[in-house]
A and B are shown apart, each in its own frame.
Chain A
Amino acid sequence: MFNLTKRTNQSKIHTLLLQLGAIVAALVAAGIVMWAMGYNPFVIYTKIVEGSVMVSENAKKGGVPYRLLQTINKAIPLVILSLGVSVAYKMKFWNIGAEGQFYIGALFAAYVAFNFKQLPPYILLPFMFLSAFIGGGLWGFIPAVLKNRFNASESLTTLMMNYIAIGIVTYLQLGPWRDPEAKGFGRMPYFTENAILPKVFGIHIGFIIALILAVIIFVLLKKTKLGYEIAVIGENETTAKYAGINTAKVLFITLFISGGICGIAGMIQASGIEKTLTDQISGGLGFTAIITAWLAKLSAPIILVVSFLFAMLLQGGAYLQVSMQIPAAISEVIQGIILFFVLGSEFFIQYKIVFSSKIKEAK
């Protein structure tokens, strides 16, 4: 016999210990799974780290080592997407439409890249950047309106809009925007050189944008009036109305910003990595970002860390495939298991189990 009660006071240390414990437990559990499948978990974990951040002996040609570069490249869109969704989640708006906002952002950017080729890069790139923000923003704005006007569940509408966005990109890729020179392939033309993000230290400057965005989001949420309003609505909508906050207006602005940032991630991925737009460009990053944002408790600095760790898992998984012929999918299995444990650990932060020894039972 036990009783459940809600914890009234959660100490930070208690929370942190539980979360760390959950991750350790998850790594152990994933290790057991690997062991059961006939792999040595220690070797796999070592290889993941090695494959994602270690400097390989012979690939040091100045700039950032190749594997670390790959990890950073994977972390960039993840960071930006996580920042984007965190803004919406701060007001408890369950935007799972990052994927769609990403694609529409990339789409708007691609439109500019294809149609204003003559512009110099220092004008074209900001123009693409801005269009991506507006495109993603609109894609986030629509579900906000649907929620406000029709009370349509945002988690369902944003989910649907992901696939609408991808469908539109596929259509353009195979139809009107198809590269006539790419014969059999259904793909769009590559961006011209002036539409491609320049590199610093061998990494496209998306990483600088990601860092700047992290600072901006941190400031937005922590230091501005809007950020304060977002937090108040998220924590207690009744109090927000009591204080005279225009909740609908804040909802619209917030979702425009949230979607817009996800759109920027799309532009950066298209311009910095793919150098064109494809309907495969995200590969589900929009969904992973929901998880990283949630794991980071919507804190911009922690998002940087968590996204990097996730990127390590992704890159390490790819490395496992190449170096040991272990399917890269193993990193998804590990991700899943870690998530299960961390999700489960939340419970012990929120609730307290009182065992019957402490309850005086009926005599």
Chain B
Amino acid sequence: MNDFINALALFLQSAVTMGTPLLLATIGGILAEKVGHLNLGVEGMMLMGAVIGYVTGINTGNPFIAIIAAGLVAALGALIYAFITVSLKGNQIVTGLALTIFGTGFANFIGSSLVGVTLPASVKGALSDFEMPILKDIPILGKMIFSQSIYVYVSLLLALLVWFYIKKTSFGLNMRSVGENPAAADASGINVTLYKYINICLGGFMCGIGGAYLSLVSVPSWQDNITAGIGWIAVALVIFATWNPIRAIFGAYLFGAIQCLDYKLQNVKFNFFGNPFTINAQLLSILPYFMTIIVLIFINIRKKKENQPPAGLGSAYFREER
């Protein structure tokens, strides 16, 4: 029994590790979509953050500066996206894809000289697993949550903060109205453009530090396309979490767990009433996407207004449109 609990705890711990970059990117996606912008550049921004975080980590030896730099470069990418889609009213989908292409190229270009270069111990050490006194001894949760890199704690804190910002502050109210009905927000005296810029860039920042988690903590070294599609799972997760950062925490860890199963279940033989079978890891990996489609259908059938996508998602706002 104890063995089982230990194994479960270890599994959940790695689920959280896998889920953390997802969580950060998902929060980023939520911020942008809440102001009405579907940003398909998540993968690109994560890669930009991953590579700049890594370079900065190597050059400064300071994990804090590395993470901030990662966030800032991705926010810069988001700024390009915001300028094209908000100010120039460009197509959100194509612009997002362009950002992903650009970000991928940017990361792999810079990263090509980083292959094989290792992070200084100062960075690795600061971001390695940190066991919280007392809390670490809670069964399962202790291992799962409280014996993680400080990065994980920060990501949880950020999820809570963003939730608080969206749901409980006046600014959050304003930003939601921008995404739901920009004309109403405008008539209420809200600076629609400013809110869009800030939240899209903030979202970019989150994606950037999510990417840096991969290069600084979970991998931790440089490899081409280090995100391996996590950015796209994040786009799915935003919907799966129905634009709620708290639900995103659970979603991210769930999707993280599914990714872990990818590796762990490959050679495990199960027994179902005497019938041996194996769980197919690859089929499991499509589960997040499949569930996201189900969620999209489900929110439509249930018609609960609060769970619908932001009403203004995907369209540009022009005040004098008649």
A and B touch in the complex (CB under 8 A): yes
Q: Which residue of A lies closest to B321 (CB)?
A: A6
Contact segment of B54-62, B105-113, B246-254 = B105-113
* Contact, CB under 8 Å: A332 / B108: yes
Given contacts A150-B296, A152-B300, A159-B235, contact A336 B101 (CB under 8 A): yes
* Contact, CB under 8 Å: A151 / B300: yes
* Contact, CB under 8 Å: B301 / A160: no
* Contact, CB under 8 Å: A146 / B297: yes
Q: Encode contact with A along B102-140: 1 for CB under 8 Å, 0 otherwise.
A: 111111110010000000000000000000000000000
Q: With a CB–CB cut-off of 8 A, which chain A residues contact B104?
A: 329, 332
How many angstroms from the CA of A291 to the CA of B101 in the assembled complex?
A: 10
* Contact, CB under 8 Å: A167 / B282: yes
Given contacts A329-B104, A330-B109, A339-B98, contact A168 B296 (CB under 8 A): no
Q: With a CB–CB cut-off of 8 A, which chain A residues contact B95?
A: 339-340, 343
* Contact, CB under 8 Å: A152 / B102: no
Contact segment of B4-12, B209-217, B283-291 = B283-291
B309 within 8 A of A: yes
* Contact, CB under 8 Å: B88 / A346: yes
* Contact, CB under 8 Å: A175 / B280: yes
Which of A159, A336, A351 is the one whose CB lies under 8 Å from B105? A336
A126 within 8 A of B: no
How many chain B residues have a CB neighbour from A under 8 Å?
Answer: 53
- Give the residues from 1 to 46 in chain A that come closer than 8 angstroms, CB to CB, to chain B: 4-6, 37
How many angstroms from the CA of A170 to the CA of B229 in the assembled complex?
A: 14
Main secondary structure of the interface of B (DSSP, over half): helix
- Give the residues from 125 to 166 in chain A that come closer than 8 angstroms, CB to CB, to chain B: 146, 150-153, 155-157, 159-164
B93 within 8 A of A: yes
Q: Which residue of A lies closest to B313 (CB)?
A: A153
How many chain A residues have a CB neighbour from B under 8 Å?
Answer: 50
Q: With a CB–CB cut-off of 8 A, which chain A residues contact B90?
A: 343-344, 346-347
Give the Cβ gap from A323 to chain B, nearest Cβ, in Å.
Answer: 15
* Contact, CB under 8 Å: B293 / A146: yes
Q: Encode contact with A along B264-299: 1 for CB under 8 Å, 0 otherwise.
A: 000000000000000010110110111011001100
* Contact, CB under 8 Å: A336 / B88: no
Q: Which residue of B lies closest to A168 (CB)?
A: B286
Q: Encode contact with B along A80-101: 1 for CB under 8 Å, 0 otherwise.
A: 0000000000000010100000
| 16 A–B contacts from the bound complex (CB under 8 Å) | A96-B40, A150-B296, A153-B296, A157-B296, A171-B286, A175-B282, A287-B97, A291-B98, A331-B105, A332-B109, A335-B102, A336-B98, A336-B105, A339-B101, A343-B94, A346-B89
**New A-B pairs, 13, CB < 8 Å, besides A6-B318, A167-B282:** A146-B297, A152-B300, A160-B292, A161-B289, A162-B232, A163-B288, A167-B286, A291-B94, A327-B109, A335-B98, A336-B99, A339-B95, A340-B95
Chain B residues in contact with chain A, CB under 8 A?
Answer: 38, 40, 80, 83-84, 87-91, 93-95, 97-109, 112, 229, 232-233, 235-236, 239, 280, 282-283, 285-286, 288-290, 292-293, 296-297, 300-301, 309, 313-314, 318, 320-321
Chain A residues in contact with chain B, CB under 8 A?
Answer: 4-6, 37, 94, 96, 146, 150-153, 155-157, 159-164, 167-168, 170-171, 174-175, 287-288, 290-291, 294, 327-337, 339-340, 343-344, 346-347, 350-351
